[in-house]
Amino acid sequence: MDGGANLDAQIEVLLNVEKQMRLNGDVAGTRKAVTEILQLCFEARAWKALNDQIVLLSKRRGQLKQAVTAMVQQAMQYIDETPDLETRIELIKTLNSVSAGKIYVEIERARLIKRLAKIKEEQGLIAEAADLMQEIAVETFGAMAKTEKIAFILEQVRLCLDRQDYVRAQILSRKISPRVFDADTKEKKKPKEGENIVEEAPADIPSLLELKRIYYELMIRFYSHSNDYLEICRCYKAIYETLYVKEDPARWIPVLRKICWYLVLSPHDPMQSSLLNSTLEDKNLSEIPHFRLLLKQLITMEVIQWSLLWNTFKDEFENEKNMLGGAIGAKAAEDLRERVIEHNILVVSKYYSRITLNRLADLLCLSIQEAEKHLSDMVVSKALVAKIDRPMGIICFQSAKDSNDILNSWAMNLEKLLDLVEKSCHQIHKEMMVHKAALKV
């Protein structure tokens, strides 16, 4: 009891000192008085009194910004010293309410919210943690270090993915430009006068290289939800090209395997074709020749026998770990078969202008109904041009030309013909001149 009364008396004395300093506009004195009040409460382990004093001091008339900043920073050091979780949450909430709406302590508030969200997550309240983190827009904080901003946004994205809020996760992920991970080589400029001084990132914030890996791993989780294989492949490609992965075969071999699998699973388009060719040119692919063979089969204009391919690569496919958020599943196996069928149809369309549906089904090792369905899907997705004459059972791979195209082709043919006639006349004239000259001699 005496200790409590003594503490109250000491606080009362310091409150009077703080009032005098504040009214005189003495920044250093006011800052010293408020931090001493908090230190007294902390040393006495009077946590309720500490919370009360933080609120009281922040609400005093004409309270100086510097004093509030010093108070919040001082009290943040006490969070780890709290005796139990309840006291810790109470102190964080008090500091959060004091710093709310104050730009000069926005970085401290962001760090407080992050700590509170971590506690909520540990309690299993993922939705609450995600909602807390979404309150803060760190991309607008001029004084926050770049790595700390990225780490904060990545934490927001992770929590959204954990609660399966994929739309918000995508919105938040777009706040980070992938180019930012390659811009760390430049020398830090000295701040000019009048510019905001950027704070140093706390020690627990990962390096830019580590943040890059976390970012792409989160993006892989996001794209895995919608089975966007090409984007997943591009994420793995970005991880593969980082220096610390390229230097260690134990790291790059599993990543390169995943790049190959996702390339094979991706639908045929110019981006997929470009990535496929660049991967085939990679010298490291010689370390995993089985996968070079797989990619070669896709790029060669020959019909692939599905049963033969599956028997060759089935074990590799099933042994692959950490694909689509776990071991590779039945959906991916179905998609692989789909890609092989698409490849085969494209090959057939290159070699034939017209083919019967029966013959196409034989080449694809499918029933007539399945062959027709796959062909129709590719025509709808504009992967190729084809028309099916169902009564006759004939497929035509040539696109129908309109009148303008026909006229243009005729004009070109006439132009070529006239050009040939002109060249022939020139050659005949030349021969005649040579013979005349020979006769004269």
Token pair, residue 157, equals 């994205």
| Predicted local distance difference test score (pLDDT) of residue 187 | 44
pLDDT interval class at 322 (50, 70, 90): low
Token pair, residue 114, equals 């992050």
The span from the CA of 31 to the CA of 363, in Å, is 83
| Predicted local distance difference test score (pLDDT) of residue 417 | 92
Please tell me the least confidently modeled range out of 11-15, 124-128, 144-148, 149-153. Answer: 11-15
Please tell me the least confidently modeled range out of 184-188, 220-224, 233-237. Answer: 184-188
pLDDT, greater one: 199 or 302: 302
Query: Looking at the predicted structure, is the pLDDT value of residue 346 above 70?
Result: yes
The span from the CA of 373 to the CA of 395, in Å, is 13
DSSP string, 67-90: HHHHHHHHHHTTGGG-SSHHHHHH
Do 384 and 349 meet the contact criterion of CB atoms below 8 Å apart? Answer: yes
Please state, as a whole number, how many other Cβ atoms lie within 10 Å of the Cβ of residue 65. Answer: 12
| Predicted local distance difference test score (pLDDT) of residue 183 | 64
3-class SS at 2?
helix
Long-range contacts of 422-430, Cβ-Cβ distance < 8 Å, separation of 24 or more: none
387-389 sheet: strands from edge to edge? 354-356, 394-396, 387-389
Do 195 and 228 meet the contact criterion of CB atoms below 8 Å apart? Answer: no
| Predicted local distance difference test score (pLDDT) of residue 50 | 80
| Predicted local distance difference test score (pLDDT) of residue 424 | 93
| Predicted local distance difference test score (pLDDT) of residue 324 | 44
Token pair, residue 122, equals 């540990």
CB burial of residue 158 (10 Å; 0-12, 13-18, 19+)? buried
CB burial of residue 380 (10 Å; 0-12, 13-18, 19+)? exposed
Query: Looking at the predicted structure, is the pLDDT value of residue 420 above 90?
Result: yes
pLDDT, greater one: 331 or 329: 331
pTM of the predicted protein model: 0.76
Going from the C-alpha of 298 to that of each of 231, 280, 303, the distances in angstroms are 19, 11, 9
DSSP string, 292-317: HHHHHHHHSSS---HHHHHHHHHHHH
Query: Looking at the predicted structure, is the pLDDT value of residue 57 above 60?
Result: yes
The span from the CA of 57 to the CA of 65, in Å, is 11
Token pair, residue 369, equals 């109904």
Please tell me the least confidently modeled range out of 35-44, 190-199, 308-317. Answer: 190-199
| Predicted local distance difference test score (pLDDT) of residue 5 | 65
pLDDT interval class at 441 (50, 70, 90): low
CA 399 to chain centre: 39
| Predicted local distance difference test score (pLDDT) of residue 362 | 83
Please tell me the least confidently modeled range out of 175-184, 253-262, 354-363. Answer: 175-184
| Predicted local distance difference test score (pLDDT) of residue 41 | 80
pLDDT interval class at 78 (50, 70, 90): confident
Scored b (16 or more CB within 10 A) or e, 139-155 reads eebeebbebbbbbbbbb
pLDDT interval class at 423 (50, 70, 90): very high
Please state, as a whole number, how many other Cβ atoms lie within 10 Å of the Cβ of residue 426. Answer: 10
Going from the C-alpha of 340 to that of each of 264, 265, 351, 383, the distances in angstroms are 9, 9, 17, 14
pLDDT in tens, 93-117: 888 888 777 777 788 888 888 888 8
Query: Looking at the predicted structure, is the pLDDT value of residue 163 above 80?
Result: yes
Q: Tell me what percent of the residues of the chain surpass a pLDDT of 70.
A: 90
Mean pLDDT over residues 337-356, rounded?
85
Mean pLDDT over residues 199-207, rounded?
72
| Predicted local distance difference test score (pLDDT) of residue 75 | 79
> Residues with Cβ < 8 Å from 363, sequence gap 6 or more?
303, 344, 348
pLDDT interval class at 1 (50, 70, 90): very low
Strand partners, 354: 396
pLDDT, greater one: 153 or 203: 153
The span from the CA of 46 to the CA of 354, in Å, is 88
Q: Could you tell me which of 368, 371, 369, 367 has the C-alpha nearest to residue 348?
A: 371
Going from the C-alpha of 301 to that of each of 9, 123, 298, 343, the distances in angstroms are 90, 56, 8, 8
pLDDT, greater one: 228 or 189: 228
Do 206 and 222 meet the contact criterion of CB atoms below 8 Å apart? Answer: no
